[in-house]
Amino acid sequence: MSVEVPSDEELLTMTEPACYGDGMPSEGIRGGALHLSSVLPAVSNAIGCPMPTDIHSDPKGLQEALGLPDAASAVVVLVDGLGYWNLNMRLGHAPYLRSLMNESANQRPIATCMPSTTVAAMSTFGTGTCPGMTGMTGYTQLNPKTGEICQLISFRNAVPPLELQQQPTMFERLSAQGVRVTSSGLPKFAFSALTQAALRGSDYISNDDPRKRVAVAAQAAKNPGLTYLYLRDTDKVGHNYGWDSDKWIGTYERVDGQLGLLRRSVPKGTLIVIVADHGMITTDPESVIDIAQDQRLMQGVVHVGGEPRCVMLYAEQGEAPENIAARWRDVLGDRAQVRTRSQAIAEGVYGPVVSRVEPMIGDVIVSATKAVTIVDSRTQAEKAMHLPSVHGSLTMLESDIPCLIDVA
């Protein structure tokens, strides 16, 4: 039985921000146990070393909710940018993933965090918590120490990774309990700021060759414990050429081949869990909003952070965020959902927000609807303002991700 893919209009429909916790979501509510933050706590229980977090107190319940069997060894693969619906709309190109989607347990998406972007999602995944606790709330955000905007892929202008992201990672907590934790990835990510912040604590084995990275993961899985494998090219190619381009499809086929090779190479009985950090939408060149071209949008705004699908606005001193939000609602209408920071926190958009993180979040948060992108020509390069595929907002395409389960 295959998954019925909704219409394009439905896929670009805004969802409610996912909730955090251990319960199963009810009608109209997303997340809970079926959330990216649940995956590693659930896996920890599956391999016999349950690790509750400040968000998830019941790893066993999460394991049951996600349908993970017990196993001595588990491999968790995160495929950057491969949303649940992106995966299903091109399933004919992916024989291994297609075989997994034939299983009813895999025919439901789980939710990623808000914003649906890599830095927020990686820290949510790596810690089993939420952006409101990790302090990683967007691609760019305010550095309260300097009063400047910082970028959280390379941590340009940011506070050091361990100072910003203070939640213990699942990898370091498992390692501290004597569990083998191995990461297989690119050399450039071994000691990167993002790895230190979100995924520290594993034995990182690097290799430039993707098939060798798969082989390393399969070799590591011969011993009890947890193995993590990161595949980035679907996101990279999607940004540069579009997630529905021929180049993306070719990349998707190669990723499927790598996953199939992993399945054939791991020892019998190994648990394999495949997830993503977010999905991707195709942008509309006619729906680009340039903040710099409309003084109403810049009135009272001193800094702009976030990304084209989820913009964070920082108010000038003395300017009421409610006034900025009202102006943006008037100008953008149904092209965006506009929340003040207090509204977003009250609605649980970022999960529980600790006091030190609160000033990092914009005074106003603007989530783009449909295929709209919001850019700033004063600070962004031409290419960055016209990427063919992006993510960050709350549509089904962006916020529904897979959690596919296989046992070798």
CATH class of 8-129+167-282+395-407: alpha beta
* 342/170 Cα distance (integer angstroms): 30
How far, CA to CA in Å, does 5 sit from each of 234, 253, 263, 408?
Answer: 20, 20, 26, 28
Would you say 32 and 24 are in contact if contact means Cβ atoms under 8 Å apart? yes
- Average pLDDT for residues 86-90, to the nearest whole number? 97
**Angstrom distances, CA of residue 68 to CA of 44, 62, 64:** 10, 9, 6
Cα–chain center distance at 267: 29
Poorest-pLDDT segment among 21-35, 191-205, 211-225, 297-311: 21-35
Is residue 1 over pLDDT 60? no
Q: Is residue 234 a contact partner of residue 82, using CB atoms and an 8 Å limit? A: yes
**177 token code pair:** 């309990």
Element spanning 254, H or E? helix 246-265
pTM exceeds 0.85 for this model = yes
Is the predicted pLDDT of residue 28 greater than 90, yes or no?
no
The mean per-residue pLDDT over the stretch 200-211 comes to 97
Q: Write phi, then psi, for 129 (nearest 5 degrees).
A: -125, -125
Judged against a pLDDT cut of 70, whether residue 382 lies above it is answered with yes
What mean pLDDT do residues 207-233 have? 97
pLDDT recorded at residue 261 = 98
Helix 59-66 × helix 39-46 angle, to 10°: 100
Question: Tokens in use for 58?
Answer: 């019941």
Residue spans of the domains in the chain: they are: 8-129+167-282+395-407, 285-386
Lowest mean pLDDT segment, chosen from 20-34, 36-50, 73-87 = 20-34
Q: What is the pLDDT of residue 27?
A: 76
Mean pLDDT, to the nearest integer, of 36-54? 98
Q: What does the mean pLDDT of the chain come to?
A: 97
Backbone angles phi, psi at 186, to 5 degrees: -70, 145
- Model pLDDT, residue 223: 98
In this structure, which topology does domain 285-386 adopt according to CATH?
Gyrase A; domain 2 (3.30.1360)
Summarised one tens digit per residue, pLDDT across range 109-154 is 999 999 999 999 999 999 999 999 999 999 999 999 999 999 999 9
